[in-house]
Amino acid sequence: MQAKRAVGPFSVNPMGLGCMSLSAAYGPQPDEAESERLLHRALDLGVDFLDTAAIYGNGHNETLVGRTLKARRSEFVLASKCGFRITPDNPRAVDGSPASIAETLDKSLQRLGLDHIDLYYLHRPDPKTPIEESVGALAKAVAAGKIGSIGLSECSADQLRRAHGVHPIAALQTEYSLWTRNPEIAVLDACHQLGTTFVAFSPVGRGFLAGAMAPGWQPAEGDLRGTMPRFQEPNLSHNLELLRQFADIAAELGCTPAQLSMAWLLHRDPTLVLIPGTSSIAHLEENMGTVDVRLDAGRMAELDALINERTVAGSRYGPAMQATVTTEEFA
């Protein structure tokens, strides 16, 4: 395992675990007993940073993590998120109002079976609520001892700076990988300047860079990737050709495509923390092998040139999801 990296006051291994896929999102809900085994296996392998959210499985994910790992709570830093609420018209309505944050936090604590969460993120900035008000509500939760540190998710550099003016922001997470470079516009620089740790979710491109897709791929029922332009034709066929070349490089280096994609991130910035998600113990064990992959400057440049914001076809999100995201986008 590589040297630990700071997330606010915490010190964690660079490879954490995103728990969303244990409550569906990429198809049918995984087997509950297998999910429990995966969580325990993650801790056994040295994972000490787990990421969940109130919206994942409408609370199922927090309940699963809290119940399964109750006896091992001291072994990991726990992060969760607020900022969505379920309404009759919208199962993912953005709501960063102080009242909603307080209500969601109390429900999160109840589901997790805890009285304190180490790191609590605002899952999305609410266009109806100034970021200062949302962070102010989270700061009150810190003062009350309900959370330890504050994080933001899918925020712009400007929003991060404004939020940081209210209360120190320990972490900012958004999607980052070879094929999603949005944070490179301004967010990464802002994180470095403010001492905010950048946490990369979907570091294998929602499975794409791990080789999860093949020509003719069709999403299973409930797989959110079916709504994302990058996974739709003709974009998918174009991107699969990039993946073929990428897999050839991985084979030359004696690692898997998933390991190569995450090794690129770990080598690119020594402060990044990754939270790949999986419902497969085999994939979990594969992911943990990433820290053994070594890349020199030549390989880094080769990968950087092969898959980037100019070579990938299709936008990151469809219109509905894109409307909830305010991170800087490439033209």
Whole-Å CA distances, 210 to 190, 240, 261, 280, 313 = 29, 11, 8, 13, 17
Token match 């969760």: residue?
80
Cα–Cα dist 19/40, whole Å? 12
Q: Are 84 and 95 in contact (CB under 8 A)?
A: yes
228 assigned to some structural domain: no
**What pLDDT score was predicted for residue 41?**
98
Please say if 121 is a catalytic residue.
no
Residue in 56, 120, 176, 317 annotated catalytic: 56
Q: How many domains, in total, are found in the chain?
A: 1
248 assigned to some structural domain: no
192 assigned to some structural domain: yes
Q: Are 328 and 182 in contact (CB under 8 A)?
A: yes
Instruction: Output the pTM of the full model.
Output: 0.92
220 assigned to some structural domain: no
120 assigned to some structural domain: yes
**What pLDDT score was predicted for residue 326?**
55
323 assigned to some structural domain: no
Q: Which domain holds residue 152?
A: 5-204+265-294
68 assigned to some structural domain: yes
Cα–Cα dist 329/315, whole Å? 10
Q: Are 75 and 42 in contact (CB under 8 A)?
A: no
pLDDT of the chain along its 331 residues, tens only?
Answer: 679 999 999 999 999 999 999 997 777 778 999 999 999 999 999 999 999 999 999 999 999 999 999 999 999 999 999 999 877 677 678 999 999 999 999 999 999 999 999 999 999 999 999 999 999 999 999 999 999 999 999 999 999 999 999 999 999 999 999 999 999 999 999 999 999 999 999 999 999 999 988 888 998 888 889 899 999 999 999 999 999 999 999 999 999 999 999 999 999 999 999 999 999 999 999 999 999 999 999 999 999 999 999 999 999 877 666 665 554 543 2
**What pLDDT score was predicted for residue 321?**
63
224 assigned to some structural domain: no
Cα–Cα dist 308/268, whole Å? 14
Burial class (CB in 10 A: 0-12, 13-18, 19+), 257: buried
For residue 272, give the CATH number of its domain: 3.20.20.100
**What pLDDT score was predicted for residue 194?**
98
Nearest to 251 by CA among 217, 283, 212, 293: 293
